[in-house]
Structure 1
C-alpha cells in the first residue's frame, strides 16, 4: 500500500481527491488533511499567510499518524506567491517537519510540464491577473515559456469550488493558444478530476490541472507510476527525456 499525504487548504475542491483515488487503484491511498485557510482571498498577502510554515506544520502530525509515504502542499497560489526560492524553502520546511519527501502543487506543475515534454504552455487561471502573472513568473524560473495568461478575476476559493464543467471548459478554451503545447489550470479549488478527458478531447492537447498534478507529484515522490487514462495524458504517457 502506498499512502499519499496532502495538506489541502479549506474544502473547496476536496471532492477531486477521493475521485482520483478511485481511478488510481486499490493499492494507493490518498489522505487529505485540511489546513486553516485563514482569509479566503486570492490576494498576495493572504496567500502568503495561507502557506506560512505554522499553518502547514499544524497538519503534519496528522499525516504522520496515518502513515503517509510523502506529503504535498496541495495549493498552487499558496506556494508560487513566495517566488521560486521562497517556494523551495516552504517545501524544505515541510519536509523537515514531516520527516518525509515533500513538494507543492507549484513544483508539481513544473515537473508535470517537463514530464509530458511541453516547452510552451497557456495558463487559464481563476485568480486575479496580478496573481496569475506570478504563476507565469514561477514557470519562467523553471525555463517554461508561457504563450498567454487568461485570468478570471475570482477572489475566493469558495466561489471557484462552485464552478461547473461548462465553466471549466470555457476557461480552458479561452486560455488555449495554437502555439501552446499544453494548457494549465492552476487552482486546487477548481473541480477538474471528472473533466480531464473532455478537456483534452476538446483542446486536442494535454491539459494539466492542479489536483491532478498534485496527486501525480505525490506518486512521483513515493516512486510510483500509475497508468490511469481517465486522468489524462500525464497519467498515460511515457516520461519525456529532455535534451
Structure 2
C-alpha cells in the first residue's frame, strides 16, 4: 500500500481525489487534509496568504497521522503566485515541516510536461487574466513556451466548483491553440477527473489538469507508476529518458 497525502485549500473539487483513487485501481490511498482557505479570492494578496508556510503547517500533523509517504500542496494558484524561486522555498518549507518528500501542483504541471516531452503549451485558466499570466510566467521560468493563455475571469474557487462539463469543455476549447502540444487547465477547484479521455479526444492532444497532475506528482515522489488510461495520456505514456 502506498499512501499519498494532499493538502487541499477549503472545499471545492476535493471529490476528484476519491474518484481518481478508484480509477487508479491499485494499492494506492489518497488522503486529503483541508487547509484554511482564508478569503476565497483569485487575487494575488489572498493567494499569498492562502499558501503561507503557517497555513500549510497546520495541516501537516493530521497528514502525518494518515501514514502518508509524500505530500503535495494541492493548489496551483497558491504556489505559482510566489514565483519560481518562492514556490521552491514553499515546497522546501513544507518538506521540512512534514518530514517527507513534498511538492505542489505548480511543479506537478512542470514535471508532467517533461514526462510527456512537451514544451509548447496553451493555458486555459479559470482565473482573472493577471493571475493566469502569473501561471504562464511560472511555466516560462521552467523552460516552457506558452503559446496561448485564456483567463475565464472567475474570482472564487467556490464558483469554479459549480462548473459542469459544458463550462469545462468550453474553457479547454477556447484555450487550445494550433501550435500547442498540450493544453493545461490549472485549477484544483475544477472538477476534471471524470472527463480526461473525453477532453483529450475533443482536442486531439494531451490535456493536463490540476487534480490529475497533483496525484501523478504524489506518485512520482514515491517512485510509483500506474497505468490508468481513464486518467489521460499522462497515466499511459512511458517516461521520457532525459539525456
* Alignment map for 1:169-184 (pairs within 5 Å): 169-184=169-184
Distance of 2:171 and 2:241 partners within structure 1? 30
Alpha-carbon shift at residue 166 of structure 1 (Å): 1.1
Change (3 A) 1:242 1:173: farther
Tell me the equivalent position of 2:138: 138
**RMSD of aligned C-alpha atoms?**
0.7
TM-score (norm 1): 0.99
TM-score (norm 2): 0.99
Tell me the equivalent position of 1:54: 54
Distance of 1:97 and 1:242 partners within structure 2? 31
Alpha-carbon shift at residue 239 of structure 1 (Å): 1.0
Tell me the equivalent position of 2:200: 200
Alpha-carbon shift at residue 119 of structure 1 (Å): 1.0
Q: Deviations over 1:11-47 (max 9, x none)?
A: 1010100000001124100000000000000000000
| Runs of at least 4 residues off by over 2 Å | none
Distance of 1:242 and 1:208 partners within structure 2? 21
Structure 2: gaps of 5 or more residues = none
* Alignment map for 1:66-215 (pairs within 5 Å): 66-215=66-215
Structure 1: gaps of 5 or more residues = none
Q: Deviations over 1:176-195 (max 9, x none)?
A: 00110000000000000001
Distance of 2:36 and 2:99 partners within structure 1? 21
3-state SS, counterpart of residue 3 of structure 2:
strand
Alpha-carbon shift at residue 242 of structure 1 (Å): 4.5
**How many pairs align?**
243
Distance of 2:158 and 2:129 partners within structure 1? 18
